[in-house]
Each structure stands twice: as C-alpha cells, then as structure tokens.
Amino acid sequence: MKGSDKWGQGGGPRIRVEFVLAVLDDGVTRWLWALFGVLLFAGGIVSLIHPRETFAGFAEILGFVFLLIGIIWTVQAFAERVFNDLWWMSLVRGILLIVLAFWTSGQFFLERAYTLLIFAGIWALLKGVTDIVRAFQLRDLGSD
C-alpha cells in the first residue's frame, strides 16, 4: 500500500523525520526532547501496568474532547449562517456532540467503555455525513 508504514498508518515517515530532527538538534531543546521521551516512556509503562485506570483517564479525556468539539461545531454553525444554507446541520451535530459529552460523563465505568465506542462511531458518522453534504454543495456551486 502506497504511503503506509509497517503499522498500516500513513504517519510513519513523518514520525521518522521528527526523530531525526530530535537527534540533530544541538540546542537547549535537545534536553527537552529527551525529557519528553522519558516522560512518555514512563507513561507508557504505567499505562501497561494499570490498564483500567488508563482507560478511565482516556474516557474522561474523550468526554472532554466531545464537549470541546461540540462547542466548536456549534459556534461554527452560527458563524456560517450568513453564507451557508445548511448551517443548521452543523448546529445539530454540535448540539448532539455536547449531549453525548454530558451523557458520557454520567456513565459508570463498564457502560462507559461501550458508550465511548458507540459515540466515537456516531461522531465519525456526523462528520462524514456533513462532509458529503458539503461536497454536493461545492459541486452545485461549481456548476452555476
């Protein structure tokens, strides 16, 4: 597959470039790279030792990300209202994501695992549907 590394992700070459830049850095930031490397390595080990707590932290962060993106989408909808006829779609998806964020924060641990999986899929679905609708809008603009 073109553009993918051995893990199946397209970010492999970019990551290798960052490692090369970190090695070639001669300034004070070289120690910063080393410090972050040690901290991230330690965080990875702790995550492997305590997977339940890691997932709980990840779930809280994902709930906050849902809230933040829902707010951004809602504000974007009102900003696009002047020139976008389908501004209400962004408003609906923003409000839905805000509701999902608060619903996620009220779940117990075991239910939260399944809920987050479903909500991440809903988030992707909302984004995909909106992108498809916008693509048709752009196509209609080009034909005028």
Please report the pLDDT score of residue 77 as a whole number.
92
Is residue 55 exposed (0-12), middle (13-18) or buried (19+ Cβ within 10 Å)? middle
Q: Rounded CA gap, 85 and 25, in Å?
A: 50
Please report the pLDDT score of residue 13 as a whole number.
63
> Model-level pTM greater than 0.75?
no
Please report, rounded to a whole number, the percentage of residues in the chain having pLDDT higher than 70. 78
Please report the pLDDT score of residue 16 as a whole number.
66
Is residue 65 exposed (0-12), middle (13-18) or buried (19+ Cβ within 10 Å)? middle
113-122 pLDDT, tens per residue? Answer: 777 778 778 8
7 has pLDDT over 50: no
- Confidence class for position 125, pLDDT limits 50, 70, 90: confident
The two three-digit tokens of residue 109, written as one number: 């641990």
> Which residues have C-beta within 8 Å of that of residue 103, sequence separation ≥ 6?
115, 119
Answer for the pair 93, 125: CB distance below 8 angstroms, yes or no.
no
Look over the chain and give the mean of its residue pLDDT values, rounded to a whole number.
Answer: 78
Please report the pLDDT score of residue 31 as a whole number.
77
